[in-house]
Amino acid sequence: MNGPVASIIVSLILTLGFLFGTGSFKSTPPTYATVNFDGGYQKIGVISREEIFTEARVEINGERIVNGDFATVIAWIQRSARESDGVDKATWKEGVRLVASAGIRWTGSESNFKLATENLDIKSTSQTPIRVSEAIEKLNAVERQAKAERLESSKQALVFSSAPTESFLISKILAAIQK
């Protein structure tokens, strides 16, 4: 072996030894997320935000009266109840329906995704009228349940891996160079 080839081999061995010694080739935890749900799966990518979402709507005989997040719908319910008997005494008439869902919303590098973990669908009838205060309490209970189970639901729904386009060797070399 002549001098130039030996110096290249020694340099390569020293460089690799240095990179291994500094931990540059340690595996990093996978950050590319895919969400699994009843209808299949969706690639989200690297998650930048995870939060609880709430959505609700009030209908009368199939016609949408109000919709929005829980705070918006509860405020509307309270305003309309104050105009009549008050929140504690008001009862919805027959045909009023409250449909709501709460869950987790992820914001990712490839797509955003909302996973409903809690649902509510109640309808006021002549046999079982719904008190306004009861409807508000049910909405609050749905939100509390979604918040309480967020971490567990997230762990069950998400699968983390390396990005599908990422090459193991190239990504490790690039990460080592960037440090």
What is the per-residue pLDDT across 118-151, written as a single tens digit (0 to 9) for each?
999 999 999 999 999 999 999 999 999 999 999 9
| 136, 104 contact by CB (below 8 A) | no
Q: What is the pLDDT of residue 11?
A: 82
Q: How far out from the chain centre does Cα 116 lie?
A: 9
Residue type, 168: F
| 35, 157 contact by CB (below 8 A) | yes
Q: What is the pLDDT of residue 162?
A: 76
Tokens of 38: 């009843």
| 18, 86 contact by CB (below 8 A) | no
Can you give the pTM of this predicted structure? Answer: 0.73
- The SS3 call for residue 172 is helix
- pLDDT digits over 99-118, tens only? 999 999 999 999 999 999 99
- Give me the residue spans of the domains in the chain: 3-29+164-178, 32-161
Strand-pair category, 96-108 with 63-68:
unpaired
Residue 2 — very low, low, confident or very high, per pLDDT cuts 50/70/90? confident
Q: What is the pLDDT of residue 145?
A: 97
